Amino acid sequence: QAKITGRNRYHFFDADLDEQVRTHHNRRTEVRAALRGGEMRLYYQPKLNMRRGRIVGMEALLRWQHPERGVVGPMDFLPFVEHTDLIVDIGEWVLREALRQLQSWRGFDPDWVVSVNIAARHFQRNDFVERLTAILAEFPDVPPYMLELEILESSALSDVGHVRAIMLACQALGISFALDDFGTGYSSMSYLKRLPADVLKVDQSFVRNMLVDRDDRHLVSAVIGLARAFELGVIAEGVETVAHGALLMRLGCDLAQGFGIARPMPSAEVLPWVSAFDTAPVWQAAALLPPI
Ligand code: C2E
Ligand code: MG
Ligand code: MG
Ligand code: MG
């Protein structure tokens, strides 16, 4: 009896797996077609220096403008492709699109830094630096220091030495690096020692609850302290309210990104939004609170 159940279960599991493989395959085909068909978009989320009341740049975030389903977020389609070379095509599209956008924003504010998320598989390719150099050359008007790459610390899991070499080569081109979702991986401390990062991004899961969860507040504070000790920049993501911003400034972090400042928006909305944005009343009052 147990054996039959076991076999049946195995059989069902097998069918499930088969179905899953088919779905993944279909999804990949759809995403590839969407990329070729011009359905991908970049949305931009502003980064704010809360203390100075200035927008210092944007993070580019991928969206799929689906003809029927509307705007589809990256978590709903990147998981199907990030283990295939399609993620490289997508990543290169994202880089070109961000650089094209920078070409027009450069005149508005040449100090902006736009960051682009790069998948581990893309980043670790042997030809990454060579191809990035070629892509940058297509946009001779854009100074490379306006581009920042965001990578997850898990991107370095397999071979820290290799990743370190890629980062150094990119930095020689003028590009900077942020370690995204910092603190959520297992090896943050040892990577920090070996990876030449420029900026740490405090993960939003810590930031979101730091007003009510003391442990999360301690984690946020520790990441800010690490950044200071290593002389790196630090930015908090997931800043949803002025209270979050006020606490961050008191903990020593002036840069923030989150729904409390702005949601990611289509590129056409960025300059009008920035021109209308007036931080002085809320964020600067918060900056006057004493440090903790
Ligand atoms: P991420 O790089 O950590 O980006 C931050 C995510 O948090 C974005 O989700 C953003 O919309 C969301 N977010 C920002 N502020 C807040 C807030 O105050 N509250 C909450 N609840 N969420 C906030 P999104 O756009 O869905 O992107 C999810 C992830 O997908 C990104 O996480 C990044 O890892 C990946 N991703 C996005 N664009 C790209 C891309 O062009 N290439 C690659 N390889 N990955 C991308
Ligand atoms: Mg990011
Ligand atoms: Mg992040
Ligand atoms: Mg994330």
Q: Could you tell me the pLDDT band of residue 174, with boundaries at 50, 70 and 90?
A: very high
Q: What per-residue confidence (pLDDT) applies to 150?
A: 97
Q: For 259-291, what is each residue's pLDDT tens digit?
A: 999 999 999 999 999 999 876 656 777 777 777
Please give the ipTM for the structure prediction.
0.98
pLDDT tens figures, 50-95: 988 899 999 999 999 999 999 999 999 999 999 999 999 999 999 9
| pLDDT at position 106 | 93
C-alpha 177: how far from its chain's center? Answer: 11
pLDDT of residue 290: 72
pLDDT digits (tens, 9 = 90+) for 101-158: 999 999 999 999 999 999 999 999 999 999 999 999 999 999 999 999 999 877 776 7
> What share of the chain in percent tops pLDDT 90?
76
Flag the least confident range among 13-27, 138-152, 198-212, 244-258.
13-27
Q: Is the pLDDT of residue 175 over 50?
A: yes
- From the CA of 238, which ligand is nearest? 1
Nearest one of 279, 207, 220 to 55, comparing CA atoms = 279
Give the Å distance between the CA of 123 and the centre of ligand 2. 14
Ligand 1 neighbourhood includes 73 CB (under 6 angstroms)? yes
How confident is residue 187, by pLDDT bands cut at 50, 70 and 90? low
Q: Is the CB of 119 under 6 A from ligand 1?
A: yes
Distance 8 CA to ligand 2 centre (A): 44
The rounded distance, in Å, linking the Cα atoms of 183 and 163 is 18
Per-residue confidence band for 12, with pLDDT thresholds at 50, 70 and 90 = low
Is pLDDT above 70 for 254?
Answer: yes
Asked if residue 203 has its Cβ within 6 Å of ligand 1, the reply is no
Tell me the ligand closest to 178's alpha carbon. 2
- How many other β-carbons are positioned within 10 Å of the β-carbon of residue 85? 11
274 Cα to the center of ligand 4, angstroms: 24
Question: Which amino acid residue places its CA nearest to atom 37 of ligand 1?
Answer: 61
In the chain, how long is the greatest CA-to-CA distance? Answer: 75
Alpha-carbon dihedral angle through residues 153, 157, 158, 161, given to the nearest 10 degrees? 60
| CB of 120 shorter than 6 A to ligand 1 | no
The single-letter DSSP state of residue 278 is: -
pTM to 2 decimals?
Answer: 0.92
Rounded Cα distance between 81 and 184, Å, is 22
pLDDT band at 184 (very low <50, low <70, confident <90, very high): confident
Mean pLDDT (the chain, rounded): 90
Where b means 16+ CB within 10 Å and e means fewer, 125-158 reads eeebbeebeeebeebeebebebbbbbbbbebbee
Ligand 1 pocket check for 76: Cβ under 6 Å: no
Bigger pLDDT: 16 vs 237 = 237
AA letter at 119:
A
Does the beta carbon of 94 lie inside 6 Å of ligand 1? yes
Looking at the predicted structure, is the pLDDT value of residue 20 above 90? no
Least confident of 3-12, 15-24, 101-110, 194-203: 3-12
pLDDT, position 61? 98
CA of 236 to the centre of ligand 4 (A): 12
- Give residue for tokens 């100074």: 143
- CA 209 to CA 59: how far, in whole Å? 22
DSSP assignment letter at 258: S
Residue 171's H or E segment, with its range, is helix 160-173
Strand ranges in the chain using DSSP code E only, listed in sequence order: 40-49, 54-66, 70-72, 113-117, 147-152, 176-182, 199-202, 233-236, 255-256, 265-266
